[in-house]
Structure 1
Amino acid sequence: MFDEVNNDVRAAPEENKIGLGKIREWFQDAVDKSRDWRKEAKEDYRFVSGKQWKNADKEQLEKFGRPAITINKIKPLMNVLSGYQRLNRYDISFLPRTNDDMELCKVREGVTKYIFDDCDYEYQESQVFMDGAIGGIGWFWVYYKFDEEMGDGEIKIARESPFNMYVDPEAKEIDYSDANYIIRAKWVNKADLINVYPEKAEEIKNQQQEYDSMEPVDEQYDHLYYKRDLQKLRLVECWYKVKVKEKIYIMPGGKIINEQDMQNISEEQLMQMYLSGQIPIEQTITVDKVRVCSFFGGVLLEDIESPYEHGQIPFIPFVVFKFFDEDEPAGIVRDLKDPQREVNKRRSQSLHILNTSSYNNWIRETDAQSDEQKAHMKKLASLPGGVIEVQPGTLSRGAMQRLEAPQPPLSLFQAGQEAAADLPSISGINEALMGVDMPANASGRAIELKQKQAITHIAPMFDNLRKCKKRLASLLWGKHGRKGLVQQFYTEKKVFRIEGVGGKPDFITINQQVTQIGPFGQAVTTTLNDITQGDFDIIVADTQASASQRQAQMYSLIDAVKTLGVPGDAVFDLILDLSDIPNKEDIKQRLQQRQQAQQKAQEAQAAAEQAKQIRMSNSIAFKDAPPAIQLAMAAKAGLIDQKIADEAIKQFVAYNYPQLLQQQANKQQVNNQQITNQIMQAINQGIPTNQILSQLINLGIPAQTAQILLQQVKNQAEINSQPINQNQAPQQNNSNMTLAALNSLRSGNVPAM
């Protein structure tokens, strides 16, 4: 294979090979099927480059001395479309399926960005896009290029000429995902082909000699494999699918691996799976395997398994328009050729009329001029300042008369203008998208609405490009349990340098082996940023519609700030994002730091103002408060002892509010009596002492006080339960003595007995 990875590839069983004869038939069928498209597509490319006249028409005009004018109106439209695509690229993103995959998704995005930067992907994508816009289809080639001198390789993404590609005629899907085979045929030199396949050198030379000795009776066959005049050989690569049976293993957690990966799992890991009951489930399924057959004419160069494990053909088509199964791909230029022809022909006709009617014609009598005067008039009649001489007396009798040049038909120019107006209406690329009909004072909203009319017209082709890019990502990262190029070839530790935020360099390291000491003192080796792990979904994120649209949205926000009173600082970051100012992230970061500093300053100022208000309020209250309250405030500020302030407050309340003090005492006495009764009742019910203590503590009574109180109530209960001695006077005020003890306990003093 030309420029392809040349590593060890396992040969598939012979029964899976199709055979050179059948593949040659496939190639002939694909050539026949695409013949009409190739004829139209070549003409499409010629129209964009300005070669818009058929040779027969041009020769006919030159024969009669008429001009063949070319007013190329297609090329500016295609340039606008190309510029729109370059300003509206799609980014590939990875969505994690679990929280553990978040960091790995960032790693995948970084590695993908490195691959794109390394192979200049943006330029390649723009070329493929233009292939599709012009001829209807463009092709990506995704491959791994090994450098024998460096002992390493890189993943590459390149544009492949659509005229080198041939597709299975039975494929029905717009992206040819159901194609059984896709063929690339390239014209190469004999020496280059022998360098790639030195073991086939004799067969290649013999095949060329055979073609040289043949009579060129079959021009089609001669053109298919060999160009006699250029001594070029055609290397044909047929990537085709075969059905094979394959063992797969469904691992614990649902991950599917193939037989080769299963063999790489150590016996210890398998033993741990079996002991834990997580046994891999073995299944045999039928899958598509991709093979590649390379040949030149009747010489089979190789027929091997694809060197890639993703199980897909490494060529991805970008198809613009294809409306039904038998339809051929078409681009925007296909429908613009007839209006362009009309523009050219009508302009040529108008110029011919102007050229032929620009001379001043005359009518004269035969004897009005001499032969010399006739020659002089023919030479000077149409020149400015020319003087015409006639015979004496000729003018007096009207023997000469000037004929004014007729005006060209107005309908001719109108028809030409209509043909020119058909081009933007058919292509959908209107003047608003080109930015040529908008007044300087037009609002951003007006510009955006005008451009959306054109964007809606061309949206399908960008949707197809998004799908194409998503398929490209699947070749890089694999799908359905198959390894992509990244997992297959980037197996060792590798450091990628990418452009980070604000243009600053950033580095990503994958497959980094780290050895740590385990909990039992053993060495445990783990892999950081293991790109073979984790589950993810691939999406292609949209960027802003266009530079013009970004500006329109930016001006809409600016208008809202001016006319609607929207705070500028609330939308300034959005205005920055929509602008083309460089280092936008740095500006946003500085703005954020400034806003945070302002917020902290405002918070400090508010706190200082609040403290000032509190001080003023306290100062006013201190002046107007009674002396006892002033002492309490002084104690709170730490100016005097708290006990002095408490005693002053107590005396102040006793002197000024004796009734209130008595009410509080009565209320407290009732509360104390209720607590004593509840304790007595709990003792009588046989409730354990620890539960009674817990309830007292829940009421807010300190633990030590609760224990003393409980013991006093128990003692009182025992006294009340003893029989009364007749010689002993009855004891009075038992309950009052208990209440006094309870008051002392609640106040924290020694129980009064």
Structure 2
Amino acid sequence: WYAGMYHLLSRDCAAPNGQFPIVPFWGFRKDASGEPYGLIARAIPAQDEVNFRRIKLTWLLQAKRVLMDEDATNMSQQQILEEVERPDGLIKLNPQRKNQKSISEVFQVQQDFNIAAQQFNVMQDSMKLIQDTMGVYGAFLGQESNATSGIAIANLVEQGATTLAEINDNYNFGSQLLGELLLGYILEDMREQHNKVIVINRNDKRKRKTVVMNHVDEQGLLTNDLTRLRAHIALAPIQQTAAYKSQLAERMMMITAQLPPEVQITVIDLVLELTDVPNKQEFMERVRAALNIEKEPEDMTEEEQAELAAQKQQEQQLQQKQLELQMREMEAKVLKLESEAKNIMAKAQREEGLTDSQRYDNAKTQAETKRILQEIENLNLEMSQMQSQMLQTVEAMIEQM
């Protein structure tokens, strides 16, 4: 072990599972030597140029050029330069000088601001070069750019993410190795702890669950043994930054606004899931309750699942009673039609010996009898279908029990 260049001690590595105890987060590495470097290496030349131009620009803004006749003043050259640099400088001219025309011809102090403006423009180009070499565009930083439409800005953001893809991938890989190392240390610390209670999904009431690790039962047997755990850390490739979630929520709201009102009600809870609001879980539960949207069974607590099962059982019992009432009603109709058919048949037999004119009426009676028999047959068919439906309902109830 070293602290910089100083050797502290030498001992065996205590990292679990033969891992290295230190996890490096590489940006980039040189092919020849493997020397690590980051994004800043690309920007160092441009940054040196910015520093040089800033120093040059500051010097040009302070520098002054003095033009004077040899006998313009009796002061020494050092005294003249000191007085010129001062805002309240005092320079005495020589009254015995040869040139007695104008002071501007005898003594001048000049500053070259044109060159300073050129230095400033070069410095601005170097500052822009730093951002370009880093692969980060103005739209990626939320700054104004030449892109005006939302699609163009989104493309610039995606292009910036693509430029940084390698360094982001190396960061995710380092995070995964660090997670595996931490998990190994945690498992080592918990090996000797028995009946360790762990709460999963602590912040989510619907998915909250309590698990007892290294549980020792009455017979001395060990369940949920951590030494037998073979865990692997995996990072989900999903962006969870606030800007990404806000952009995704905005897109979903735009799409939802174009849907019919009856469809908007069915998907509003999915759109609200993307928003970041305080007490989000409780807020979502109230929205689902107001819209009568049922939860998924895996998202329900044990009490909610028991309540839902009891409610479904009541609905099935009510449905079965309705089917029984319908069956009784149909049986009454069948009995009534059968009675009418018998009366008509008896009447027809009594009138067999009547005249032809009366036989016409008998034919009509037979037609009505045929119609009644057809209705009886249809009712019997409906009764058989309802009996089959009742049988299926009872079987479903038995399976749920």
TM-score tier, shorter chain, comes to: 0.5 to 0.7
- SS of the residue 2:9 aligns to: strand
Shift in Å at residue 347 of structure 1? 0.7
Q: More strand by proportion, 1 or 2?
A: 1
Distance 1:570 1:236, change over 3 A: farther
Residue 315 of structure 1 aligns with which residue? 22
The answer to whether 1:433 aligns with 2:206 is: no
Instruction: State whether residues 381 and 388 of structure 1, in contact with CA within 8 Å, keep that contact through their aligned partners in structure 2.
Output: no
Call closer, same or farther: CA 1:647–1:528 in 2, change over 3 Å.
same
- Give the equivalent residue in structure 1 for 2:275: 579
Q: Deviations over 1:602-649 (max 9, x none)?
A: xxxxxxxxxxxxxxxxxxxxxxxxxxxxxxx9x9389x8975553124
CA separation of 1:435 and 1:334: change in aligned 2, threshold 3 A: same
Matched, 1:512 2:215: yes
Residue among 477, 482, 486 paired with 2:187: 486
After TM superposition, give the deviation of residue 352 of structure 1 in Å: 0.7
Contact 1:447 1:549 in 2 (8 A): no
Q: Does 1:355 align with 2:62?
A: yes
1:558 aligns with 2:263: no
Match status 1:471 vs 2:177: yes
Q: Is the Cα–Cα contact under 8 Å of residues 75 and 92 in structure 2 kept in the other structure?
A: no
* 2:129 aligned to which of 392, 410, 422: 422
Question: 1 CA distance for matches of 2:75 and 2:249?
Answer: 77
Q: Deviations over 1:286-321 (max 9, x none)?
A: xxxxxx1xxxxxxxxxxxxx5565233333222221
Structure 1 residue runs of 5 or longer lacking an equivalent are 1-183, 188-223, 226-233, 239-291, 293-305, 479-483, 516-523, 600-632, 666-753
Higher relative helix content = 2
Task: Confirm whether residue 595 of structure 1 aligns to residue 291 of structure 2.
Answer: yes
Q: 1:33-432 to 2 correspondence within 5 Å?
A: 184-186=1-3, 225=6, 234-237=7-10, 292=12, 307=14, 310-324=17-31, 326-357=33-64, 361-364=66-69, 366=71, 379=83, 383=87, 391=95, 394-395=100-101, 400=106, 402=108, 404-409=110-115, 410-432=117-139
CA–CA separation in structure 2 for the residues paired with 1:664 and 1:643: 11
Q: Tell me whether 1:547 sits opposite 2:267 in the alignment.
A: no
Q: Deviations over 1:340-366 (max 9, x none)?
A: 111111110111111103x7x453472
Q: Work out whether 1:449 is the aligned partner of 2:141.
A: no
Task: Look up the equivalent residue of 1:490 and give its one-letter code.
Answer: R
Instruction: Name the CA shift for 1:439/1:528 in 2 (closer, same or farther; >3 Å).
Output: farther
| C-alpha displacement of 1:590 | 1.9
SS at match of 1:437: coil
Q: Taking structure 1 as reference, are residues 388 and 307 closer, same or farther at Cα in structure 2, changes over 3 Å only?
A: closer
Establish whether residue 636 from structure 1 lines up as the match of residue 338 from structure 2. Answer: no
How many residues are paired up?
A: 319
Alpha-carbon offset, residue 526 of structure 1 = 5.0
> Is 1:648 paired with 2:355?
no
Query: What runs of 5+ residues in structure 2 fail to find an aligned partner?
Result: 296-325, 349-361, 374-401
User: How far apart, in 1, do the equivalents of 2:275 and 2:371 lie?
Assistant: 76
Retained in 1: the 8 A contact 2:337–2:372? no
Give 1:593 shift.
Answer: 1.9
Report the secondary structure of 1:495's partner residue.
Answer: strand
Evaluate the alpha carbon distance shift between residue 237 and residue 402 of structure 1 in structure 2; reply closer, same or farther with a 3 A threshold: same
Distance 1:663 1:529, change over 3 A: same
CA contact (8 A) 2:57 2:119 kept: yes
TM, length-normalised to structure 2? 0.62
Which of 226, 249, 253 is matched with 1:531 structurally?
226
Q: Tell me the distance in 1 between the aligned counterparts of 2:102 and 2:334.
A: 141
> Taking structure 1 as reference, are residues 488 and 402 closer, same or farther at Cα in structure 2, changes over 3 Å only?
closer
Aligned to 1:658: 366
Partners of 1:587 and 1:662 in 2: CA distance: 65
Paired amino acid for 1:425:
D
Please tell me whether the aligned partners of residues 551 and 579 of structure 1 are also in contact (alpha carbons under 8 angstroms).
Answer: yes
Flag the 1:407–1:450 CA change in 2: closer, same or farther, 3 A.
same
Alignment deviations for residues 134-157 of structure 1 (CA, whole Å, 9 cap, x no partner) = xxxxxxxxxxxxxxxxxxxxxxxx
CA–CA distance in 2 between the matches of 1:538 and 1:645? 75
The alignment yields a C-alpha RMSD, in angstroms, of 4.7
Q: CA deviation at 1:502?
A: 4.5
Distance 2:82 2:14 in 1: 80
Shift in alpha-carbon separation, 1:570–1:452, aligned structure 2, 3 A: farther
Counterparts of residues 607-622 of structure 1 (less than 5 Å): none
Asked if residue 462 in structure 1 is aligned to residue 164 in structure 2, the reply is no
1:382: Cα distance to partner?
Answer: 7.0
Q: Could you tell me which residue of structure 1 aligns to residue 202 of structure 2?
A: 500
Hey, what's the Cα distance between the residues in 1 that align with 2:180 and 2:22? 12
Give the Cα separation in 2 of the matches to 1:439 and 1:503.
47
SS at match of 2:198: strand
> What is the distance in 1 between the residues matched to 2:209 and 2:372?
74
The CA distance in 1 between the partners of 2:146 and 2:277, in whole Å, is 24
Going from structure 1 to structure 2, the CA distance change for 1:325 and 1:513 (only over 3 Å counts) comes to farther
Q: What displacement does 1:323 show?
A: 4.4
* Alignment partners' CA distance in 2, 1:440 and 1:503: 44
CA drift of 1:510 comes to 0.9
Structure 2 distance, partners of 1:512, 1:351, is 73
Instruction: Quote how far apart the aligned CAs of 1:395 are.
Output: 3.8
Using the TM superposition, give the Cα deviation of residue 335 of structure 1 relative to its aligned residue in structure 2, in angstroms.
2.5
Contact 2:14 2:21 in 1 (8 A): no
Structure 2: which amino acid aligns with 1:583? N
Kindly provide the amino acid, as one letter, of the partner of residue 511 in structure 1: N
| Corresponding residue SS for 1:236 | coil
How far is 1:338 from its partner? 2.0
- Give the number of the structure with larger relative contact order, counting CA–CA contacts within 8 Å between residues 6 or more apart: 1
Q: Distance in 2 between matches of 1:562 and 1:440?
A: 25
Letter in 1 for 2:217: V
